[in-house]
Copies of this chain bind each other. A is one copy, B any other.
Amino acid sequence: MAGSDTRERILQTSLALFNAQGLAAVSTHRLAAELEISPGNLHYHFKTKRLIVERLFRRFEDRLSLLNDSASSVQAIDDLWLALHLRFEAIDAYRFVYRDMAYLCGEYPTLAQRAQALTARNLLAAQALCESLVATGVIQATAEDARMLALQIVFTTTCWLSFERLVPGRDALKEADAGMAAFYTLTLVSPYVSSESRAYLHYLRGKYLG
């Protein structure tokens, strides 16, 4: 197998194991065993677990950056729904990042700084999104309300999937329901939604609250 294939397989398997078992629980030894390669071969590609985590974190940043870039083009409730859905899917695909953030920050201080910088970019994007919704008349909110709403959206998209595992009946390590998470986030926006834009909210309410 070519080197770049092995490298990619290491990253994919690491992501799957970190997501399924927790960042703290997966050692490079465990990774090599799962990959059925020697620890020496793993070490040849990534000298430390930190380098693997950093590479995956970079991919997570890149995926959120793409979503942040399109924030100001959100001009209707169903655009917002789609944007939230895609964001929750991205966060769920790399769910170890926010779920295991306390451990990640403790082990890798440089990533703690990058996580803060990412949050700052997410906040700017959410503000652009809320301003766009106000400008197009989808929501009615003062500048201060719009800033608070942006903060609520970033808080919710960042932490909702971690919270969900504390709700009885949920399994912490399984795939999340991005649709339900997006619906929950939309309820934050609902008090500000203009009457013309309520139809889509009602449709979603029927779908998710039955």
Copies in the complex: 2
CB atoms of B209 and A144 under 8 A apart: yes
Check A102 against B99 for contact (C-beta < 8 Å): yes
Is A159 at the interface (CB under 8 A from chain B)? yes
Chain A 4-20 per-residue mask, 1 if CB under 8 angstroms from chain B, else 0: 00000000000000000
- Shortest CB-to-CB span from A90 to chain B, Å, is 16
> A165, B105: Cβ atoms under 8 Å?
yes
Taking a contact as CB atoms under 8 Å apart, the answer to whether A166 and B172 are in contact is: no
Chain A contact residues: over half helix, strand or loop, or mixed? helix
Chain B residues with Cβ below 8 Å from A22 are: 102-103, 106
Known contacts A155-B159, A192-B191: does B106 contact A166 (CB below 8 Å)? no
Report yes or no: A162 in contact with B165, Cβ–Cβ below 8 A: no
Chain B CB count within 10 A is highest, among A112, A167, A188, A192, for A167
**Can you list 24 A-B pairs with a CB-CB distance of less than 8 A?**
A21-B106, A22-B106, A24-B24, A24-B106, A99-B102, A100-B102, A101-B162, A101-B165, A101-B166, A102-B172, A105-B165, A112-B172, A116-B167, A119-B167, A120-B167, A120-B168, A144-B205, A152-B187, A152-B188, A155-B163, A158-B163, A159-B163, A162-B162, A191-B192
Give the residues from 135 to 167 in chain A that come closer than 8 angstroms, CB to CB, to chain B.
144, 148, 151-152, 155-156, 158-160, 162-163, 165-167
Q: CB-nearest residue of chain B relative to A159?
A: B159
Residues facing B in A75-127 (CB within 8 A) are 99-103, 105-106, 112, 115-117, 119-120, 123
